[in-house]
Amino acid sequence: MTEEILSSTDGKAARLRLNRPKALHALTTKMCAALTDSLMGWRDDLAVEAVLIDHADGRGFCAGGDIRMLAESGAKDGVEARDFFHTEYRLNHLLFTYAKPTIAFMDGITMGGGVGLALPCKYRVATENTRLAMPETGIGLFPDVGGGWYLSRLPGRTGQFLALTGARLDGAECKALGLATHYLPAEALDEAKVRIAEDPRHIAAVLDEFAVAPPEARIMGNRAAIDRCFASDEYEEILAALKAEGTDWAMKELEALATKSPQTCKVSLHLLAQGKHHSDFADEMRVEYRVGAHVVQRHDFLEGVRAVIVDKDNDPKWDPATPEGVSGRLIDQIFAPLPEDEEWTPLRL
């Protein structure tokens, strides 16, 4: 069987390569555990001065998580799905708190779980191939893996816009918003990795040397409209603002939102409103685990996966079907604490 995580050392750096190309390197519980084991093994290894994270063959960096497994588990007792979230979120937190420099090369599709791998890294490299998104509301899920933390800290209301619409960003847009620290041409990546492995003390200088000016970031042309229309934390007010805006752009976004789960759009807004006030990333992951444990067994996630991934009719029947039908009481239930022995906990370091 092909190893789905390629773990090695190269000079003074360690390498983690995602190697599940037929699934665009989407993460499984086993892959998350393997990544964690490697990172823990290198934590106190004086020969390893930095960790590089990328993908082997194929178009993706990482297309997300194993959605089919999550849905199949959610339709039963949810145990396997909760185990995946618990393992993945521990990996996300480990990367966020890792003492050694980490570098993520987002050369390709970077969605969901891939965002969770890349954004905790100190250095995040985008290229002309980068396509980053958190498209979870389209399948009745929410922008997890730290989305409540990262998206709530983006400029203006771009985080709320991305969380609700699932809009795809290219590499230039990632750099403009601060999601990427550097923009490199894909053809320069191999040489940059060699140079970093030779002397990890100068990662920033190496990346700066190979960096080029990105193209114009399209999202910046819509910043004022995004900040205006997505200003509220109330989903109904956002929809009303887009309708009042009345431009082609606003109508396109309104049309996109009409395909999303009203329940998880409201969950996403609540998550970001809370997330911007967290001072500890572990608190963010604890909340997201509660939400994930609840949402994965609810109708909208199972129906979203059926419509978008299984049957591919792209016609999910959301329940509640309208934003007005999603009560504050329902949101409170989704965010409710779990029994103490079922709560998420970080790794003991």
Residue 54 pLDDT > 80, yes or no? Answer: yes
pLDDT digits (tens, 9 = 90+) for 241-288: 999 999 999 999 999 999 999 999 999 999 999 999 999 999 999 999
What pLDDT, in 10s, does the model give residues 172-225?
999 999 999 999 999 999 999 999 999 999 999 999 999 999 999 999 999 999
Which residue carries 């041409």 as its tokens? 185
Q: Assess if residue 155 is contained within a domain.
A: yes
Name the DSSP letter for residue 65.
B
Residue 328 CA: distances (Å) to CA of 245, 270, 288, 323: 27, 10, 18, 11
pLDDT at residue 316, rounded to an integer: 96
Out of 74, 108, 112, 113, the active site residue is 113
> Position of tokens 């989903």?
235
In a domain, 112, yes or no: yes
Domain-located, residue 134: yes
Flag whether 349 is in a domain.
no
Catalytic residue (choose from 49, 88, 144, 288): 144
**Domain containing 290 — which CATH number?**
3.90.226.10
The reply to whether 72 falls in a domain is yes
How many domains does the chain divide into?
A: 1
What does the alpha-carbon distance between residue 196 and residue 31 come to, in Å, rounded to a whole number? 25
pTM of the model: 0.97
Catalytic, 319? Answer no
Distances (CA, A) of 232 to 89, 152, 156, 273: 28, 13, 12, 10
Residue 21 covered by a domain: yes
Residue 65 appears among annotated catalytic residues:
yes
Nearest to 146 by CA among 81, 64, 89, 86: 89
pLDDT in tens, 96-148: 999 999 999 999 999 999 999 999 999 999 999 999 999 999 999 999 999 99
pLDDT for res 2: 67
163 or 348: which leads in pLDDT: 163
H helices present in the chain, as ranges? 29-42, 67-74, 79-97, 113-118, 147-150, 158-165, 171-177, 189-198, 203-210, 223-229, 235-245, 248-257, 262-275, 281-295, 299-305, 328-334
Is there a catalytic annotation at residue 159?
A: no
Supply the pLDDT for residue 59. 83
Q: How far apart are CA 221 and CA 201, in angstroms?
A: 37
Catalytic residue among 136, 170, 173, 288: 136
Structure tokens at 73: 């588990």
Helix (H, G, I), strand (E, B), or coil: what is residue 197? helix
User: Does 341 participate in catalysis according to the annotation?
Assistant: no
Decide if pLDDT at 294 tops 80.
Answer: yes
More confident residue, 2 or 336: 336
- Provide the percentage of residues in the chain whose pLDDT is more than 90: 97
Per-residue pLDDT averaged across 13-40, rounded?
Answer: 96
Per-residue pLDDT tens digits for 321-349? 999 999 999 999 999 999 999 999 999 87
Across-strand partners of 13? 10, 50
Whole-number Cα distances in Å, 335 to 17, 80, 289, 329, 331: 34, 20, 9, 10, 6
Q: Is 159 part of any domain?
A: yes
Closest CA to 245 of 265, 227, 221: 227
Catalytic residue among 60, 64, 65, 275: 65
Domain with 258, as residue range(s), is: 5-342
Six-digit token string for 245:
């805006």
119, 179, 207, 286 from 283: Cα distances, Å: 17, 21, 32, 5
Helix (H/G/I), strand (E/B), else coil: 103:
strand
Which residue do the tokens 């390498």 mark? Answer: 15
Whether 332 is covered by a domain: the verdict is yes
